[in-house]
Amino acid sequence: MVHENPSNGIKNANSADEDAKRFEEDQRRKRSSSMMELAQGRLYDELEKAKAELKLKDEECKKLTIVQDQMGIELEDLTASLFEEANKMVQDANVKRMMAEKLCKEAKSQVEVLQAEVGALKSLVITSTPSMPNRHLHPQINAEPVPRAPFIKGHRRSTSHHNFSKDSTPQRQDLFVLQMDLILFELFKDWVTAPSLDHENSPFLKQVFKEDIHPCFDFANAQFSREVLQSVLNNTVIIEPVAERIPFPKQCQLTDTQRLCTYRLKVNEGENSRLISNLARNRVAAVCNFVTYIRYITQGLVKSDVTDMYWKVVQLRKQMCLAKLGLS
């Protein structure tokens, strides 16, 4: 029978206790480490989740920044376009106002010219009355009267003697007819039957253009002369006086010479004014008067007979001749 030492049993019991303690400590360490790992895992997951949310918010902020920049650019463009449109509207309004004032001024000038033309036309083309004949329309009034033969006293009473005073009337009429260019008068009568401004196909107007109108427009500036003549035929020419306190010689656009240019001329509404001298103005105005009267005849505004109209045409041709010579 073996007897154990009591001290050895105590030692064995102590080592077993120590082993149990170590085991428990190991278990505690393992549990604590697993809990730490779990906590770290949760924290890592939360961190990744926070990073993802931050990334989404960052992308959203970038998008909002882009939208804000675009809105700012659009707002600047809109503001600039509004200012530009406002300036354009103001400029258009100023231009329209200036054009309206210009047209109003030109219309007033045209009204004054037309009123003067109407007054002159009334005084010249209205058929004269027997009690007050118009000497401009009846040049025969200024003709020298045919001298009547003296009455011879005596007993002879022949038929020719009694009818002498009656025979003087046709003699005076024959004298009046002889003063007229019968060829031109016949051409004028043919033209009056179907009046028009076509001077190429009318023998009467072709002769007037050849003898009077073209010589009046025989200026140094041939190109501008043709433009002015065409504007006269189109009834678009505008002649206005130039108001100057101290006039001095300038370049006349028709004669190409330095003269006192107290008038300005436009071939139509849209053209610029050009300075012309008194000589050029008188020649253009004389042609305008003739063309205006011819136009009135074509429009049926002249109610005189063909003879009175012819003598008015002769008078207007005379004015063109005088203007051509610088005598108007």
Read off the pLDDT of residues 234-260 as tens digits, 9 standing for 90 and up.
999 999 998 877 778 899 999 999 999
For residue 190, what are its two tokens? 């043919």
Q: Does residue 277 carry a pLDDT above 50?
A: yes
**Chain centroid, CA 158 distance in Å:** 79
Q: Does residue 15 carry a pLDDT above 90?
A: no
User: Can you say whether residue 256 is alpha, beta or left, with left for phi > 0 and alpha for psi between -120 and 50 degrees?
Assistant: left
Q: Does residue 122 carry a pLDDT above 50?
A: yes
- Average pLDDT of the chain, as a whole number: 79
In the structure, what pLDDT confidence band is assigned to residue 147 with cuts at 50, 70 and 90? very low
Query: What was the pLDDT predicted at 11?
Result: 62
Q: Does residue 325 carry a pLDDT above 80?
A: yes
Read off the pLDDT of residues 172-211 as tens digits, 9 standing for 90 and up.
444 444 477 888 999 999 999 999 998 889 999 999 999 9
Whats the size of the chain, residue-wise? 328
List the end-to-end C-alpha distance of the chain, in Å, as a whole number: 180
- What are the residue boundaries of the structural domains of the chain, listed by start? 52-124, 174-328
Query: CB of 287 within 8 A of CB of 199?
Result: no
Closest to 312 measured CA to CA, from 129, 134, 147? 134
Contacts of 309 (CB under 8 A, 6+ apart): 125, 188, 192, 297, 302
Question: Cα–Cα distance between 221 and 229 in angstroms, integer?
Answer: 12
Question: Cα–Cα distance between 260 and 278 in angstroms, integer?
Answer: 7
Query: What was the pLDDT predicted at 158?
Result: 38
For residue 326, what are its two tokens? 């610088």
What value does the mean pLDDT take over residues 129-143?
45
- By three-state DSSP, how is residue 278 classified? helix
Read off the pLDDT of residues 67-103 as tens digits, 9 standing for 90 and up.
999 899 999 889 998 988 898 899 889 888 888 888 8
In the structure, what pLDDT confidence band is assigned to residue 130 with cuts at 50, 70 and 90? very low
For residue 30, what are its two tokens? 């393992």
* 296 or 110, which is more confident: 296
Query: What was the pLDDT predicted at 187?
Result: 92
Query: What was the pLDDT predicted at 170?
Result: 40
* 39 or 13, which is more confident: 39
Query: CB of 239 within 8 A of CB of 285?
Result: yes
Q: Which residues is 320 bridged to in the sheet? A: none
Phi, psi of 271 (to 5 degrees): -90, 160
* 37 or 305, which is more confident: 305
